[in-house]
Each structure stands twice: as C-alpha cells, then as structure tokens.
Chain A
Amino acid sequence: MKKRQKTVSFFLHFLMIFIVALCLFPVLWMCVISIKTVGESITGFNALKVITPTLANYRRLWELIPVWQNAFNSIFTTLIGTITTLFFCALAGFAFAKYHFPGRNALFYFVIATMMVSAEAGAIPLFVIMRRVGMIDSLWSLIVPRMATAVGIFYLRQYMLAVPDEIIDAARIDGCSEFGIFWRVVVPIVQPALASWASLTLIARWNDFFWPILFLRANAKHTLMVSVAQLPVSDGLSTPWQVVLAGTTLVIVPSILIYLILQLAQKSGLTEGSVKG
C-alpha cells in the first residue's frame, strides 16, 4: 500500500510539473526571444540559445509605437475602469443583499439574465451610439459602459449576504446614513471579496482588445494591447519576431506581476475582514 502510494505520488507530481511547463513555456519562450539580437536564429530549438542578450528590441519598440502614450491609455482605462466598476457593483450588490425592497428578487433575476446576451453582439449600434455622444476616441468609452456589470454585482452580492444584519442595524441606530453604512461598514468587511474581484477586473481590462479596437480609432488613443497587436504589420511587413515578442513581453509581464502581487497580498492577510469570530 505504502509503495503504491509513492508511485501514485510520483506520477502525480511528474504530470503536474509537465502541466506547469506547458503553462509557462510560451511565456518564458517569449521573454527569451525578446532579448535576442535580430540576426540570431529563432528557428525551432535554436530560439532558446541566447548568445548576446540585448535590449535593442525594446529600443526599437519605442521607435515603432508611442509606448508611453499607449501605456498611459492602458493604465488609465484599467485603473479608473476597475475602481468605478468595483464601486458601482459593490453598491448594487449591497442593495440586493441587504435591503428588502419590493421587486428585489425579480430585479435580481433580471440582472442575472442580462449576462446571457453579451454586449458584444450589439457592437454595431453601440458604435453608432458612441459616435453620436462623441465618445469615439475617448478613453471614457472603455470605462462608462462597464461601470456596473451583472457578473460583478452577482459576485459581490454573494459576499454581502454574509455580512451580519446586526452590524448594519447597529450602524443605523447610531445615526449612520445609508451610504455611510455601505462605505464605512460594509466595504471594509467585504474587502477580501473586493480585492479578488479587483484583481480579476484589472487583468481583464488590461487584456481588453475588442472594445479598444472598436472605440479608439486614432493612433494616439490606442491602448498598449492594440498597438502591440498591430506590431507585425506596423513596420511594413517585416517587423522581426524579436521586436514583436518584446512588445508582447511588455504587455504580459505586468499582468503576471500584478496577479502575483495581489495573490501575495491576499495571502499575507493584508485584506483580512473585520468581522470578529
């Protein structure tokens, strides 16, 4: 029995390491090629031999696309988008979880039902609407439509349900306003849920591609993701792979770092709730 368990455990770890390798390999591959000189071979396994590491590909990247401008656009829409969506989803989630207003259940089912047909299917009229209100080429076009999303409301409501009613009643008796209850009582308690939802939203917004190419037509308004996606054709037809992969490294590594940092933050208890026992 003991021996069998050892064999199983060995195969388990072996398989797990293989899967991790499959997960990480394309990313590592990209990082390696992005520091190779353009002259070096990138055919097959030769790609992994770095003879003279260089940052020239990154310098070339800065010549090809307005990196700082694009990075600003990406960071702005990602950050403001995450903060606003977190705020409005939490607010609605709070209302659905903690108030017994007429029509609550029907409205909540309606919110869930809206998840089924996604906004992407109506992209054409949405573009027309955006043009009419003058939001084409405005960074706000990526932020405003998704300030409150059904899935965010659903997710945060689940956590708000666990907030004890006694705390809310106590705050109300102490003369706290309804918004004050939300902001000063409920939000601190559900911080772990907000943090995990924030990390998913941050990454999703940073990786966003469809909405930026739809709404942001001017080069100066492109997000980093759009500029990088256009790299293969931006230099005539011959952008070297090394430079393209320098671009993808530039967009992928930050999201991996953000994810890992937020993972660690959640682990070390920085976001622990404030409900006692």
Chain B
Amino acid sequence: MIKTLKKYRYPYLFICPFFILFLVFQLIPTVWTFRISFVDWNGLKKMKPVGLANYRLMMNDYMFKDSIRNTAIYWLVSVVLIMVFSVMIATMLNSRLLRARQFFKTATFLPYVCASVAMGLIFGMLFEENAGLVNGIITALGGTRIPWLTSSRYARIPVEVLFVWRLTPWFTQIVLSGLLNIPEEYYEAATVDGASTVQRFFRITLPLLSNILFFCFVTITVDAWKLFNESYVLAGPGSSNTSLFQLMYTTAFKTFKLGYGSALGCVLIVILLLISFVQFAVRRRIGEV
C-alpha cells in the first residue's frame, strides 16, 4: 500500500487538489445540508432540532409549490426549445451552401458570452409593460399590451426567453461538433440511394447525434433546475416566477431561515441525484458505460 503510494506519488499528488477541494467545498456542504434541514436555525443562535417540521412546513407552503411548478415548466420548455433551436441552427451552420460560416458561427455564439444578470436587466426593459419594445411590436401589430412582469400569469415568459436565448448558442456549438464528426460518405451514399434531404436528416443525422443530444438533454436539465440569475433579476409578483434554487437562497439569506432553506436545498439535491441516476440507467441500457 505505502509502496504503491510512494511509487505513484506524483500522479496522486497531481490529482489530490481536486479531491481536497471537493471534500471541503462540495461533499461536506451537501451532507451538512441534510443535517441542517432537521433544525431551526437563523445562522447565529444555537440550532434547535425540530425533526421533520421543515418538511411538513414545505407541504403547506404555496411558495414551495409555486417554485417547483415554475422550475418544472422552465425545465420542460427549455429542454424542448433549446434542443430544437440548437439542432436547427447547427444544421444550418453545417450546410455546404452557407457562406461566411465563421462569421455566422461567432455571431450566433455571442449571447452565451453575455452575462445573464446584465441581459436580465435588458430583457426587463424590453418586456416592460408600457415602454418596452415587445409590447411596442405587439401594439403595432394590433394586439393589446401584455403585463409581462407585473402579472403572475405571464411572468415566467421573459425568464424563459432569456434562458433559451442565452443557452441555445452553447448547445448549438456542441451539436455542431457532433455534426462535424458524421462522415460525409454516409450522406453521399444516401444521396446515391435517392434519399431526400429530409430523409437524410431523420435517418442519418438524428440517429448519429443521439449521444450528443442525450448529453444536451442532461445538461439542460441540470442547468434548468439550477436556474437562478434570470428569475432573480426578472422577478415577477410574489412567487409567480421564482425558481426552486432562488427560493432556497431567499429563504436562507434574506429571511434567515437556514433550516427551512436547507430542506429546500435537500429537495434540489434529491432532484439532481434522480436526474443523474436516470441518465446512468439510460446510458447503461444503451451500453455506453
């Protein structure tokens, strides 16, 4: 044991920073979150054990229900929209007919570079009820003004638009890298066999992209459940567009209920764990791991 450690001391030394940091800043906090979720604590006084009270509170908390519903909607809508848009844009970027490809590639990546918080402020202005451009366009087309950020009915839409606007470029790049890996011969062979463009897309491109698309699906899922910046900056009335993670933050650091906040954190952790188990199971079935 000691001999191996000595023989391989360099590689172990090289990887140990990660494991130390992981232990201190991720593993211990995660485990500790579960512990704090069973106490009542404002961060300063002594912790008071309350058993499952925080979880019982959660069952009757409409803000919690709202945040779960909002985050689930953000998740489902963004998975669909981001995947459709990124496959579409990547296919177009990969087309032989496209000129100035490098320009289009760079230009369509720029939203991802822009800070979500700053863009949140801008979208807040674009979606402003009276002065915003979005309502300007709607009224110019003969519609009526929509109270995007002041009604609980619409408040999720600007958040969703911003999230999709900013993340699509990233996934476009990933899908594009997948498209570039598909050998040109496949398409040539299919064309010789008389396959149409649509057929080639559904019979060759999509099946060969399935791994990449699955990766995108998992990443978008995790990102959506962690959504914070967008809904924080574009806050609607009450908890109309609050995300789960945002509710955890405000509960713990604005109202100083660290115990209840940790219980919300546990829900988040369990959801993220579930996602990873599902992804692991799916990968195993495909036989990739």
Contacts and interface: CB of A to CB of B under 8 A. Distances in A.
Interface of A: 5, 8-9, 12-13, 15-16, 19-20, 22-24, 26-27, 29-30, 33, 42-45, 47, 88-89, 91-92, 94-96, 99, 101-102, 104, 107, 111, 113-114, 116-129, 144-150, 153, 178-179, 182, 203, 206-207, 209-210, 214, 225, 228-229, 231-232, 241, 244-245, 247-248, 251-252, 255-256, 259-260, 263
Contacts of A251: 115, 118
A148 B21 contact: yes
B92 A122 contact: no
Contacts, number: 238
Contacts of B253: 127, 214
Contacts of A128: 32, 43, 258
B107 A20 contact: yes
Q: Interface SS of chain B: helix, strand, loop or mixed?
A: helix
B29 A225 contact: no
Contact of B110 (A146, A214, A248, A259): A259
B106 A255 contact: no
Contacts of A225: 115, 117-118
Given A119-B29, A123-B248, A124-B33, 7 more contacts: A16-B92, A24-B107, A95-B10, A125-B30, A209-B117, A251-B118, A256-B110
A27 B121 CA distance: 11
A91 B14 contact: yes
B106 A129 contact: no
A190 B152 CA distance: 51
Contact of B115 (A9, A120, A255): A255
B117 A207 contact: yes
> 6 tightest A-B contacts by CB?
A44-B136, A122-B29, A116-B276, A125-B32, A99-B11, A95-B14
Given A45-B136, A255-B113, A121 B14 contact: no
Most buried by A among B30, B125, B136: B125
Contacts of A26: 119, 122-123, 126, 165
B228 to A, nearest CB: 6
Contacts of A16: 92-93, 98, 104
A31 B258 CA distance: 41
A5 B30 contact: no
Contact of B24 (A30, A42, A129): A129
Of A30, A121, A128, A244, most buried by chain B (CB within 10 Å of CB) is: A121
Contacts of B114: 27, 207, 252, 255-256
B214 to A, nearest CB: 14
A62 B262 CA distance: 38
Interface in B237-289: 245, 248-249, 252-253, 258, 261-262, 265, 268-269, 272-273, 275-276, 279
